[in-house]
Amino acid sequence: MEFTRIRYDKQHDHLRALNQSASLIQINEQLSQEIIQHKQTSEKLQQSVKRTWDILNSLFVFVGVYSLDGILQEANRAPLEAAGLQPADVIGKPFWETYWWSYSAAVQEKLKRSLREAARGRTIRYDTTARLSENRFIDLDITFGPLYDSAGEIIQLIGSAVDITERLAAEKREAEKSTQLQNILKVNPDLYFHLNYQGVLVGFVNEKNQHHFLAVETVQQRHIYEIFPPAVASQFESAIQETIQSEAATTFEYALELQQQSRWFQARLLPCQPEELLVIIQDITQKKTAEIRLQHVHARLTEAQRQAHIGSWEWNPRENSLWWSEEIYRILGLGDPDLLPTTQTFMEMVHEEDRELVARVITNTLENNLPFSFEHRIVRPQGEVRHVHLQAGLKADPQAGSQLMYGTIQDITEKQEASRIAQEYRDELAHVSRLIVKGELIAGLSHELNQPLTAIANYCGAMKTLMEQGHDVSELRDKIEGQALRSGEIIRRLKAFSQKQQQRFLFNIHDSIRSALQMINYQIRLKQIEVKTCYKNKFTTVYADRVQIEQVLVNLFKNAVEAMEHMPSPRTLTVSTTSTPDKMIQISVSDTGCGVPEHFRSKLFTPFATSKKTGLGIGLSLSRSLIHAADGKMWFLPNTRKGASFYIQLPASQKLPE
């Protein structure tokens, strides 16, 4: 039994030893696991710290760890690299003595005080400036604070700084803008206020110029119907709804009777804050008054143009843009005033026979900067032909850097018709006058010549009888001779009566040419004849009777116009002057008419010889007589192609007596 018990005790001790060994193994495994976990946690912590420093180093944010006496123990790389510093330049040194703060003793002293305060357990934060290089500085938001251990004791200091340079610059800009805005609002005559969507005034941006409202005690928190007349308030109500729906600015104008005066305002509503609109009210009385006056002036000008049948136009040759007044649309017979005018539209309405002339005149103006004034015909869309007077000139436009053509067009159809009828009356009257003069001349001639011719006939009859009877007829012969001389004297007296004594003096022949052309200007315009003048000298004098010379010129001009009447365009009357070596002034009058028939040229200056159906045949003969009386010459030459040329030579000065 004893043996058995001893054996049992040994077995029991062996089992207990095995259990203890198992427990130790388990404890060892647990410790191993804890060590591994602690190591992993430590590695993760180190990795986290490394990532944190990497992040801090990638940002321009300063983070530093200091001893309690302000010695920098650790710092991230970004501020070091920005200033071109190495860790050895700052680590282990008092923070206020580092390069960043060396530019100012006051800044260094403030840093030193701040670190001391942090060492006492306070958190210090303020804005300062750090130097990165000789000429480069940045603004920082810097913070210092204590770092505690598990026992609550301060063991270190930690500091951080954030670059706020851009933020401060932005704040400065915003402050400047705000100041500028306030200054603008102080001097701005406009009124700014806020309206909510219900139409209640909830606040002012500037409280000046409240006279833009009706006279009420206060407008704050009042509805628009309380501070504006109903008609104006209704406009505000509609504008509010339009602004809400479109989310865009809405503008309208209104008038108020203030202090017995009408004043005009412009209201502009803009989306602003939620459920609110910004309202800007501007006094536009002066502008509106000017617009109303301008409208009245425009209305009066339009009415004046309508009454006078004169329309105005403006053409930009560079852009080929054309503007017409309303009257031009009426003159051209265009019913739609919204039709965009073009030069092509106008040229298509010019009569086909006048189109080349119009184009040539306009081209000449553009090339030589010469104004023009002439008449031509237009054809309305309905086929009606109208006569118009077109005039224009060029004027420089400094803003566009080009020239604009300004002009007018006048409907002269009625005037032309009246002038035509008046001319017909004048022509008829002249014809009747010529017949009367012709009758009187014939009656005078017959009366004056009747007696001597009758006497000559009687003497001849008696002379025949006496000669048959063989008597002496010498006495009758003398009487016949006396009566013949008497007839010649009658003819000379009539000629002297028709040719009054000349009043000769020096005058400018160019003035006489202009006067003569003006006298037949109607016929020239009516028959669409272009007049060209070619003068070698601006002032050319002749010595003659001015009235008689102008009569000769008028006769030549009328003959030229009548010769070109039925000729196709172009119809050109050319007048030129030149001097000759023998001190004479030569005037030439050329036309592009039908010319003088070859068989009639020898009788051209013969009295009472004419190629016209209604002519008297005394114009050219009388003209040459007047020229000869002025010691001049007159002759005719046919043109090479078509038409005729008449030449006149007149003395350039008075001849000295020999």
pLDDT band at 29 (very low <50, low <70, confident <90, very high): low
Q: What is the pLDDT of residues 381-412, one digit of tens each?
A: 888 999 998 888 888 877 766 788 888 888 88
The answer to whether the 59-170 and 188-290 domains have the same CATH topology is yes
Residue 567, token pair as written in the block: 């000729």
455 by Cβ neighbours in 10 Å (0-12 / 13-18 / 19+) ranks as: middle
Q: What is the DSSP letter of 166?
A: H
Q: What is the mean pLDDT of residues 556-582?
A: 87
Rounded to 10 deg, the angle between the 413-469 and 474-498 helix axes is 170
Write the CA distances from 607 to 473, 583, 618, integer angstroms.
Answer: 37, 30, 5
Write the CA distances from 283 to 213, 256, 264, 593, 638, integer angstroms.
Answer: 11, 11, 6, 70, 78
Give φ, ψ of 510 to 5 degrees. Answer: -65, -35
The yes or no reply on domain 418-495 and CATH 1.10.3470 is no
- In this model, does residue 517 exceed pLDDT 60? yes
Q: What is the pLDDT of residues 107-155, one digit of tens each?
A: 999 999 999 999 999 999 999 999 988 888 999 999 999 999 888 899 9
Which residues sit opposite 591 in a β-bridge?
A: 573
Q: What is the mean pLDDT of residues 330-348?
A: 83
Q: What is the pLDDT of residues 346-384, one digit of tens each?
A: 898 899 989 998 888 888 888 888 888 888 898 988 889
pLDDT at 6 (0 to 100): 47
Q: What is the mean pLDDT of the chain?
A: 79
Fold adopted by 59-170: Beta-Lactamase (3.30.450)
Write the CA distances from 264 to 204, 256, 282, 286, 394, integer angstroms.
Answer: 21, 7, 9, 8, 39
pLDDT at 525 (0 to 100): 80
Give φ, ψ of 566 to 5 degrees. Answer: -105, 15
pLDDT at 92 (0 to 100): 92
pLDDT at 124 (0 to 100): 94
Q: What is the pLDDT of residues 550-562, one digit of tens each?
A: 888 888 888 888 8
440 by Cβ neighbours in 10 Å (0-12 / 13-18 / 19+) ranks as: exposed
Using CA atoms, how far apart are residues 448 and 446, in angstroms rounded to an integer?
6
Give φ, ψ of 597 to 5 degrees. Answer: -55, 140
Give the helix ranges, DSSP H, for 499-634. 509-519, 521-526, 546-564, 619-629
Give a three-class secondary structure readout of 50-62.
HHHHHHHHHCCEE
Domain boundaries, the chain: 1-51, 59-170, 188-290, 418-495, 503-651
Q: Are 404 and 314 in contact (CB under 8 A)?
A: yes
pLDDT at 239 (0 to 100): 93
| 3-state SS class at 195 | strand
Residue 159, token pair as written in the block: 């500091």
Strand 530-535 with 572-579, pairing: parallel
Q: Are 397 and 404 in contact (CB under 8 A)?
A: yes
Give the helix ranges, DSSP H, for 332-412. 343-349, 355-368
> Class of the 503-651 domain?
alpha beta
Long-range contacts of 111-119 (CB under 8 A, 24+ apart): 112/70, 114/142, 114/144, 115/66, 115/70, 115/144, 115/157, 115/159, 116/70, 117/144, 118/144, 118/145, 118/146, 118/157, 118/159, 119/68, 119/69, 119/70, 119/146, 119/154, 119/157
Angle at the Cα of 327 from the Cα atoms of 324 and 332, rounded to 5 degrees:
80
pLDDT at 3 (0 to 100): 43
- In this model, does residue 162 exceed pLDDT 50? yes
Using CA atoms, how far apart are residues 228 and 238, in angstroms rounded to an integer?
14
Q: What residues contact residue 531 under an 8 Å CB cut-off, 6+ apart?
A: 517, 524, 572, 573, 574, 575
Render 293-321 in DSSP notation, one character per residue: HHHHHHHHHHHHHHHHTEEEEEEETTTTE
Q: What is the mean pLDDT of residues 492-517?
A: 73
Neighbours of 159 (CB within 10 A): 22
pLDDT band at 14 (very low <50, low <70, confident <90, very high): low
6 vs 263: which has the higher pLDDT: 263
Of all residues in the chain, what percent carry a pLDDT higher than 70? Answer: 75
Most confident of 140-149, 203-212, 284-293, 421-430: 140-149
Q: Identify the residue whose tokens are 């007018």.
A: 408
Q: Are 257 and 232 in contact (CB under 8 A)?
A: no
**Homologous superfamily in CATH for domain 188-290:** PAS domain (3.30.450.20)
> Which has the minimum average pLDDT: 4-8, 297-301, 501-505, 536-540?
4-8
pLDDT band at 451 (very low <50, low <70, confident <90, very high): low
